Structure formats: C-alpha cells, structure tokens
Amino acid sequence: MMSRPQSFIEGEAPDSQHAKSNRGSKVTAERVALVVLCILLAAALIIICCLSLDKIRTNKELENLKHHKMKCESNLTETLSKIKPCSMVQPTFPVPKVINGPCTKCVEGFELHGGKCYYFSISKSSWNKSRDECGAKGGDLVKIDSREEQTFLERRLRDVMTEVQDKFWIGLTDSAVEGRWVWVDGSSLDQSLEFWSKGEPDNWKSEHPDGEDCVRMGEKGGAKDLKCWFDAVCSKPHRSICEEAGSDGQYVCL
C-alpha cells in the first residue's frame, strides 16, 4: 500500500526540474538582451560625445577665422588710410582739362606730347609780343631740349602751316649779346642741339640795322636732318609755338 505514493513522488521530479531549467533559460536571455541594450546605449553616448566635441572644435575654428578676418580688415583699412591719393599741383593759370590720362593735364588749347604741352598760334606777332601772348596762356615761347622734341615740332608744323612762307617763333634769341644764343629761361643753346638751316644764322641787316636776333622755324616741305631754324628780325610778325610753364606743362601725382 505504501509503494504507490513513493512512485508518484518520484514521477513528479522530472517535471519540476524541467520548469526550473526553462526559468533559468528565460533569465539568461533577458540578461543578454539587457547587456546588448547597455552596449548600444554606450555606443550611442560615445557617438553623441564625439559629435559634440566636433561641434565645439568647429565653433572654435569659426571664432578664430572671424577674429583673423577682423584683424585683416583692420590692417587693410589702416594700409589704405596711409595711401596718398593722386593730386595735382595747383597752377597759376586757368584750370586745365584732361588730355591724356590721369594726372597728365594741359591748359585748354594746348597739345600734349612727351610730357609737355604746346600751343601753335594762328595769329602773327613780333617775337616779344608772341612771348606776352604765350605768357597770357600760362606759358612761354618753346624751348627745345632734345632731338626728339625737334622731330615732333618739325613734323607737326608741316600740318599747321597754311602756306610755304609760314614760320613760327621759338624761345631762342641773341639780342643781349650778339652770337650768344640763349633760351627764354636763360639757359645757353647746347651746340649738340642746334638745328640751323644751311647758311643760318646770318644776321642779315638789310631789313633792320640791329640785324636778326630772334629765331623762327618751319619748312612746309620738310627739312633735311630737321634743320629748319632761321634767325630773323624780332619785330617781324610770325606765328609762334608756346610751351606751358611750370613742370614742363605737366602735373605730377603725389
């Protein structure tokens, strides 16, 4: 009679052990899931931290760039403030108009060439009156300082001469001392820059007892080797070539 309950108890033991095993497996799975979740959270935190650090570093670099930009702008402003603008030396004659680019100006009616300004008169006057007329325009009779200048004037006169007999007074005279040719600025004639026509100067006195003390120039048909200067009686009326006074008829950029 007592053996049956014992068998019943022994038969129940395997089921209990199986249930315990299932509960253990379930706990283990939950632990694994929790660990995986923790790992994922940790990875997310690491990524967030890295992104935050990158953002902080980027913001710092932007601040440095802004500071550098402001410093460059300040230096540029300071440099520009030290640059002197292009200005003109104020003339004593009428305000000129632009002829050939910035800071190179001539009085109205004058022509620019080689940094000088020239005026070719239409009316005829004596040498002294021609000087006065040039002075009224802010200049004087031309002084020829180079072969290049003589070349320009000799060729330009061919265009402005209306007749073969046309001649133009230049700023050269020996009225103070015979034979000592002097320009209107008081400087002596450079012998290497003499352009006398053949047989000139001859100081011919048939027209005036004082002879020929002033110089005129021009050959309508052109002159060999630029030699087209003639001495003449100073009171004789001729056209003239004026040249601006001052800085060779030119303003300077300061």
| Residues 198, 168 share a domain | yes
Q: Are 149 and 176 members of one domain?
A: yes
Query: What is the pTM assigned to this prediction?
Result: 0.57
Which range marks the domain in which residue 65 is found? 1-83
What pLDDT is stored for residue 17 in this prediction? 66
CB-based contacts of 153-159 (< 8 A; 24+ apart in sequence): 153/118, 153/217, 153/241, 154/195, 154/217, 154/218, 154/219, 154/222, 154/223, 154/226, 154/228, 156/111, 156/118, 156/120, 157/120, 157/217, 157/218, 157/219, 157/228, 157/241, 158/219, 158/220, 158/221, 158/222
For 148, the 3-state DSSP assignment is helix
Please say whether the beta carbons of 222 and 158 come within 8 A.
yes
Give Cα 144 to chain centroid, integer Å: 30
Does residue 69 sit within a domain?
yes
Are 238 and 213 part of one and the same domain? yes
Give the dihedral sign, CA 6/12/16/18: positive
Other beta carbons within 10 Å of 132: 11
Residue-wise pLDDT tens for the chain (254 aa)? 445 555 444 555 566 666 666 667 777 888 888 888 899 989 888 999 888 888 898 888 888 888 888 888 878 877 776 675 544 444 444 444 444 444 457 888 999 998 899 999 999 999 999 999 999 999 999 999 999 999 999 999 999 999 988 999 999 999 999 999 999 999 999 999 999 999 999 998 888 888 999 999 999 999 999 999 999 999 999 999 999 854 444 443 33
* Per-residue pLDDT, 21: 67
What domain count does the chain have? 2
Q: Are residues 104 and 230 in the same domain?
A: yes
What was the pLDDT predicted at 60? 86
Do residues 111 and 162 share a domain? yes
Q: Are 105 and 96 in contact (CB under 8 A)?
A: yes
Residue 148 · residue 181 · CB < 8 Å: no
Residue 95 pLDDT? 43
Q: What is the pLDDT of residue 254?
A: 32
Does residue 254 fall inside a structural domain?
A: no
* pLDDT reported for residue 98: 44
Q: Is 160 exposed, middle or buried (0-12, 13-18, 19+ CB in 10 A)?
A: middle
Identify the pLDDT of residue 126. 97
Which of 51, 83, 115 represents a domain boundary (last residue)?
A: 83
Q: What is the pLDDT of residue 20?
A: 62
H/E element holding 171?
Answer: strand 168-173
Examine residue 251 and state whether it is found in any structural domain, yes or no. no
97 exposed, middle or buried (CB, 10 Å; 0-12, 13-18, 19+)?
Answer: exposed
* Residue 218 confidence (pLDDT): 95
If asked whether residues 78 and 152 sit together in one domain, one would say no
Please, which residues have CB within 8 angstroms of residue 213's CB and are 6 or more apart in sequence?
173, 174, 175, 178, 203, 231, 233, 234
How many whole angstroms separate alpha carbon 92 and alpha carbon 82?
29
Q: Are strands 168-173 and 239-244 parallel, antiparallel or unpaired?
A: parallel
Verify that 45 and 112 share a domain, yes or no. Answer: no
